Chain A
Amino acid sequence: MPITETRIVTKRLRDRPDDSWTIEGALASGAYDVLRTALTMTPEAIQDEQVKASGLRGRGGAGFATATKWSFLPKDSFPRYLVINADEGEPSTFKDHMLIERDPHQLLEGIAIASFAVQCNLAFVYLRGEFALGYDRLTAAIDEARNRGFLGNNILGSGFDLDIIVHRGAGAYICGEETALLESLEGQRGMPRIRPPFPAVAGLYAKPTVVNNVETVSTLPHILRMGGEEYGKLGVNKSTGTRIFSLSGLVNRPGNYEVELGVTFRQLIDDLGGGVRNGGKVKFMIPGGASSQWLTGSDEHLDCPLDMDAVGQFGVMLGSGAVMVYDDTVDPVLVAWRLAKFFAHESCGKCTPCREGTGWIEKVLYRMSHGLGRADDLDMLLDVGDNISPGLNAPFSQTTICPLGPSAVSAVVSLNKYFRDEILARVATATEVSA
C-alpha cells in the first residue's frame, strides 16, 4: 500500500488553499480554540502533561526535546523571551516558508501557547529577510489577532499579556544558528556566541530566552488539541508525531509532505514524490539539509525509516527535514562544490578553521568539478576537513564555535565514503588525456 500524508500542521493550509492565512479562514477551521483552553491550564501542566508527554522534538535541525529546552529556564528570573527561529535558509528546506505564508495564525496560536507555558510576555519572530510576503501575512495576522483579543493585553480575559515583534533578517544563513540569531536581533553582526552561557540562562539582552523553530511551535496547538499522550503515539520510537519533509531535486512531484515519522525514504520519494524523473534511479540523496552527510540509492538507505535517531546509523541526520534527490545524470562533485561555495559564502568569519577552511574546500572542489582535479585532492580535502571537524565523524566534533564549519565537511566526507573510486578514476582518465 502506498503511504499517504498525515496532515496535522499542514491541514488548514491544504484544506483551505484560498484563505488559510486570513483570520476568517483560520477561525472557520478552529484557530485559537486551543488557546482558549490552554489559558485555563497552568504553565506547568502545559509543559509536563502536554508538551513533555508528546515527546515533541525541535523541527529546526538539532531535534532537541522542546519541553526539556523550556525546562532549562531558571525559575523566577524575569523578563524572559521567546524567540521564534523563522530564518529558514538551510538549502532545500522550504517548510517554514509555507507555514508562515499560508498559516500564520497557527504559528501565532502556537507562540501564544508557548509564551504562556514559559511565562513570557514579549515574543520575537526572527523572520528571514527574503520572506517578503511572509512578513506581510504574519504582521497582518498579528494585527487581526490583536483586534480579536488573541494577542495583546489580558488575552481572552485570562490576565495574560503577550506582544509579538516580527524582526526581519537581512540575508545571512548563519542567523539560523540560535546564538547568531540573538546577536542579530540585538543589532550586531550575526556571529555565534560561545556557550555556556546557554540562551536559556543568558540569551536575548542577557535574559533567559527560548529559541524555537516555526514548525515546532506550529505543532503546539495540535498537541494540546489531541492531548500530549495521544500525539506521542504518532511516529516511531523517540521520533514522535509528524514532520514536514521538503522533497526536492529530480523527483516527479517535489513539495512539502507531512508524514508520520517512521515512514521510509523510499516511501517519501516514490509514494508521495512520484519517484525519480524519467524513470531513473536515486544515485544519492541529501537528507536533513546541506549540513548532513549524504545517502545513496542503496536499498539499505532507501528503506531506512525517517526516524531522527535511526538515520544516525548511516552518519546522517533528519535536520531541517529537507530531502534532496539526485539521479545518475548529476555529478556528485558538482553538488559538493556548490554546497562548499554556499558554506564559504555564509561562514561568518569568527573562527579561523571555518573562515579559511570553507574557502579552501570550495576552491579545491571547484577544480575537481571542472575537470582539473588532481590525484591527491580528495585526501587534501579530508585533511582540511579534519582541521574543522577532527576525526571526521558523525555526530561531529568541532574546532569552531558553531556547527557551520563541520557542516561544510559533510559533503567531503560523503564524497570520500561513496564516490572515492569514481573520483579517482576520473582524475586518472583526465591525467591520461592531458598527457
Chain B
Amino acid sequence: MAFSPENRGRARTIVARYPQSRSAILPLAHLAQDQDGWLSDEAMQEIAELTGVTAAQVQGTCSFYTMFKRDPVGKYLVSVCTNVTCLVLGGPELLEEMRHRYDADPDVTVEEVECLAACDGAPCMQVNYDYHELLTPDAAAEVVDEYKSGKRRARTVSGTAVVGGGRA
C-alpha cells in the first residue's frame, strides 16, 4: 500500500539524511513493513519514487534480504534458529513443534532462521525481533500466546518498537 501522509513525511526525512538517496531503500522498506506488515509492489513503487530509482531496482535490492516479506505474513513472525549451537540444544525440535502448533493460525508465521547471535541462550527465537531464549517448545508457545492475548506487546513485523497506538 501507499505510505500514509505521516509515513511519507518520515520517509522524506530518512531520504534527506543520506548523502545519496538510494541509500534509503532499506530503511524505507522497513518503514513500509512497519505500516503494512509486508512489502507490497505498491510500496516498492513509492520507495522508487522517493529514492529516485526504478521500481525494478527497488525490487532487485529488496528481494536479496530475508527480512523483507514480499507476501503477507502473520501479525506475529516467529523466527526460530537452528544453526550450529541451537542445532545441538533443541532448535530443530523447537522449530518443528512451533510449525506444527501454529500451522493453521493465520496470525502466526513460523520461519527457520540463521544464527541470531544469542547462542548462550540456545535454543532461541525471536517474535517480531524480540528475543526469547533457553526455550522448550511449551515455553515458546506460551510466549507466542502471550503476544496473541496482548499480554506482551509485539514490535512490527520489521522489528520497530510500537509505542501507544503507533510506531515509535
Decide whether A and B are members of one complex. yes
Which of B24, B87, B114, B115 is A187 in contact with, Cβ under 8 Å?
B24
Chain B, interface SS category: loop
Contact B27 A132, beta carbon cutoff 8 Å: no
Which of B65-73, B102-110, B137-145 lies at the binding interface? B65-73
Contact B64 A189, beta carbon cutoff 8 Å: yes
Contact B67 A129, beta carbon cutoff 8 Å: yes
Digit string of B106-141 for contact with A (CB within 8 Å is 1, else 0)?
Answer: 000000011111111010001011110000000000
Of the four ranges (under 10, 10 to 19, 20 to 34, 35 or more), the interface on chain B belongs to 35 or more
List B contacts of A322 (CB < 8 A).
119
Digit string of A25-42 for contact with B (CB within 8 Å is 1, else 0)?
Answer: 000000000000000000
A-B contact count (CB 8 A): 153
Which of A91, A254, A326 is B115 in contact with, Cβ under 8 Å?
A91
List B contacts of A92 (CB < 8 A).
83-85, 115, 119
Digit string of B18-32 for contact with A (CB within 8 Å is 1, else 0)?
Answer: 111011111101100
Shortest Cβ gap from B55 to chain A (Å):
13
Q: Given A170-B29, A334-B87, A187–B67 Cβ distance below 8 Å?
A: no
B26-84 at interface with A (beta carbon < 8 Å)? 26-27, 29-30, 51, 53, 60-62, 64-68, 79, 82-84
7 new A-B pairs (CB below 8 Å) besides A188-B22, A250-B89?
A130-B126, A130-B129, A136-B161, A170-B62, A170-B65, A326-B88, A342-B114
CB pairs A–B below 8 angstroms (24 shown): A89-B117, A91-B83, A93-B117, A93-B119, A94-B117, A94-B120, A130-B159, A131-B117, A132-B126, A136-B161, A136-B168, A167-B27, A170-B26, A170-B29, A170-B30, A171-B113, A185-B23, A188-B61, A248-B119, A248-B122, A254-B120, A324-B85, A335-B84, A342-B84
A interface residues with partner B (beta carbon < 8 Å): 79, 88-94, 96-97, 122, 128-133, 135-136, 165, 167-173, 184-190, 205, 246-250, 254-256, 286, 290, 322, 324, 326, 329-330, 334-335, 338-339, 342, 345-346, 348
B interface residues with partner A (beta carbon < 8 Å): 17-20, 22-27, 29-30, 51, 53, 60-62, 64-68, 79, 82-85, 87-89, 113-120, 122, 126, 128-131, 155, 159-161, 168
